[in-house]
């Protein structure tokens, strides 16, 4: 059978872009469909604009800290419109850059939303397109609890386009997205209240990381309400009134509320049933909160239909941009490069761009103790960085190594503090190579630096 393309990719985000360009480099005839700006969540409404907001949120602290070093800084004021517009312009520049890279790679970009007709055919704006292999890389989307008044809330999609800076923003959710935006908005000068369903923020991260970030957030003036959920939201003259669970908990009123209670694979509208592609069943966590099923894949990103594959957040494995890129390239190498391989999910480093910042690689202490019991040894250091010896601020850095006492192998490295992501990136190489604590000890530290603590802990 003759097909229009060797590979048709649905979704021009991180995974789809990486896979399409790599496949084209092997000589495949490739097309990619995208109904939005090219670049996906990371470029358009995720990593890039968020990190730019993080940078912007740090300036007020820098202004005040400068006085400890003798600098006199006058009155400062944020031009919100300039801030948001500049971020949007950079996003659009990067989107255009990705389009030019597709053209250079010989990948055809087809604007529009694609849906399956059968395992080898998709329809896009009335046009039927056939392909030998099809890759689904449509990513994820924010979801809101099914509760009264949630339609008034914004998500991480809309927060980058607010016309005015919120005076008081309430954030529902205490995962990394909710926590990062709580810190961003507080740094920019907004009053922030964060509502957490459980007893701790950042579920799944090392407990010491969550504890240190929470303490830092509280010290910076963020109000954290734990063990409560929103029951109903009402519009009131001052903005929105959020009624919480619990008899003794007062309602919260804010002019904006952000819903950051989770994301779901963006499978709606793909007509997967026409192609025989299976998804993982949905589940209900508690009333109003649910998990939408992801596309089921094997270790080679292959779905239940042998010629259809899926990578990135739509598969809900590890939802990180570098992982989606790695999965996309592994797929292309396997199917078009005569080099069959699976992506390695071990020791994937990640960061939380909160204030204070955190980063981690490998096992948490809890994971290590669950698997190895008393054979786990913890090395931990907590101190005030030298930078703050003149600022007068009470800011702490925490660094931690999780070690297998039987083999001396470093199983995990965790850090909370300035430049944590930059530091852990290098440490991740050592962890991934199987370095031991003795290897860390034998490494000469760079003095004076924060990073040297990772090789001086005893």
Give SS3 for 400.
strand
Residues 6+ positions from 315 with CB-CB distance below 8 Å: 265, 294, 295, 296, 297, 301, 327
Q: Concatenated DSSP letters for 212-251?
A: HHHHHHHHTT-EEE-S--EEEEEEETTEEEEEESSTTPPP
My answer on whether omega of the bond before 4 falls inside 30° of 0, hence cis, is: no
Give the pairing of strands 376-383 and 397-404.
antiparallel
Residues 6+ positions from 28 with CB-CB distance below 8 Å: 6, 7, 336
Interatomic CA distance for residues 113 and 110, integer angstroms: 9
Which residues on adjacent β-strands are paired with residue 258?
Answer: 154, 171
Options 220, 228, 388, 447, the catalytic residue: 447
The residue assigned the tokens 């793909």 is 270
Answer yes or no: are the C-beta atoms of 84 and 185 closer than 8 Å. Answer: no
Query: Known catalytic residue: 388?
Result: no
Both tokens of 45, joined, read 């409404």
Estimate the crossing angle of helix 207-219 against helix 176-187, to 10 degrees: 20
Residues assigned a catalytic role: 447
């Amino acid at each position: 059978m003759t097909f229009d393309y060797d590979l048709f990719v649905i979704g021009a985000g991180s995974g789809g872009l990486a896979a399409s360009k790599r496949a084209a480099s092997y000589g495949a005839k490739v097309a990619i469909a995208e109904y939005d700006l090219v670049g996906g969540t990371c470029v358009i409404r995720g990593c890039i604009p968020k990190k730019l907001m993080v940078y912007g949120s740090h300036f007020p602290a820098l202004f005040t800290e400068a006085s400890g070093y003798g600098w006199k800084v006058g009155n400062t004021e944020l031009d919100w419109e300039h801030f948001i517009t500049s971020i949007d312009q950079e996003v659009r520049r990067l989107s255009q850059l990705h389009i030019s890279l597709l053209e250079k790679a010989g990948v055809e970009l087809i604007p529009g939303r694609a849906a399956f007709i059968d395992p080898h055919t998709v329809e896009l704006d009335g046009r039927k397109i056939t392909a030998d292999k099809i890759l689904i890389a449509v990513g994820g989307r924010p979801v809101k609890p099914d509760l009264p008044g949630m339609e008034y809330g914004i998500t991480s999609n809309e927060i980058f386009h607010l016309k005015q800076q919120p005076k008081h923003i309430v954030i529902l959710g205490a995962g990394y997205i909710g926590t990062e935006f709580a810190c961003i908005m507080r740094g920019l000068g907004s009053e922030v209240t964060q509502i957490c369903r459980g007893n701790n923020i950042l579920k799944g991260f090392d407990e010491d990381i969550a504890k240190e970030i929470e303490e830092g957030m509280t010290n910076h003036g963020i109000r954290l309400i734990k063990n409560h959920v929103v029951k109903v939201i009402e519009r009131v003259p001052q903005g929105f009134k959020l009624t919480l669970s619990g008899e003794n908990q007062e309602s919260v009123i804010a002019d904006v509320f952000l819903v950051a209670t989770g994301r779901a694979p963006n499978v709606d509208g793909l007509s997967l049933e026409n192609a025989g592609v299976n998804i993982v069943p949905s589940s209900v966590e508690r009333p109003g909160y649910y998990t939408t099923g992801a596309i089921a894949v094997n270790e080679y990103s292959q779905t239940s239909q042998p010629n259809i594959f899926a990578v990135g957040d739509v598969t809900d494995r590890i939802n990180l941009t570098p992982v989606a890129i790695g999965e996309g390239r592994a797929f292309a190498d396997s199917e078009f490069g005569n080099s069959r391989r699976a992506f390695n999910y071990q020791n994937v480093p990640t960061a939380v761009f909160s204030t204070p910042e955190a980063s981690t690689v490998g096992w948490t202490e809890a994971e290590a103790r669950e698997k190895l019991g008393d054979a786990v040894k913890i090395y931990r250091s907590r101190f005030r960085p030298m930078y703050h010896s003149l600022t007068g601020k009470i800011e702490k850095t925490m660094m931690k190594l999780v070690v297998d006492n039987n083999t001396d192998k470093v199983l995990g490295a965790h850090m909370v503090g300035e430049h944590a992501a930059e530091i852990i990136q290098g440490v991740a190489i050592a962890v991934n190579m199987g370095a031991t604590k003795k290897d860390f000890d034998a490494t000469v530290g760079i003095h004076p630096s924060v990073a040297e603590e990772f090789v001086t802990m005893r």
